[in-house]
Amino acid sequence: MSKTLFEKICDREIPADIVYEDELCVAFKDIHPQAPLHVQLVPRKPITMLSKADAADQALLGHLLLTAPKIAAAQGYADTFRLAINNGAAVGQSVFHLHLHILAGRPFKWPPG
């Protein structure tokens, strides 16, 4: 099966500004940032979208949630950031490899548009 765009970034086949990586996940700056901080946090495992994750992914999903605040803090946004996951094309998902948007550095509206 061909690699997803984000797998290619994780494997350094496509360049990106990687700000964090470990054995389970990689984080890199978004190519079209929507805020002063806009990082994509992706599991190395190419789960298509959150709704396709299963019980075997429980520890991985927990790891992503525990890692996101550390990345935000390391980028200067401790305790003040937004996480977003687009699940499905109709709500804005364009890359079908699970990713957490980590956004910070400007005011955010609620509800999101």
Nearer to ligand 5GP, 42 or 77 (CB): 42
Q: Which residues contact 91 (CB under 8 A, 6 or more apart)?
A: none
Ramachandran category for residue 86: left, alpha or beta (phi over 0 → left; psi -120 to 50 → alpha): beta
Q: Which is nearer to ligand 5GP, 16 or 68 (CB)?
A: 16
Residues that bind ligand 5GP (CB under 6 A): 5, 16, 28-32, 40, 86, 92-95
Whose Cβ is closer to ligand 5GP: residue 60's or residue 93's? Answer: 93
Q: 100 - beta bridge partners?
A: 41
Shortest reach from residue 106's CB to ligand 5GP, in Å:
15
**Spacing of C-alpha 65 from chain mean position:** 10
Rounded to an integer, what is the distance from CA 4 to the centroid of its chain? 14
Name the minimum Å distance from CB 24 to ligand 5GP: 19
Q: How far is the CB of 41 from ligand 5GP (least distance, A)?
A: 11
Instruction: Verify whether residue 97 is a known catalytic residue.
Output: no
Catalytic residue among 38, 63, 97, 99: 99
Distances (CA, A) of 5 to 14, 83, 96, 112, 113: 8, 21, 9, 26, 26
Catalytic residue ranges:
99
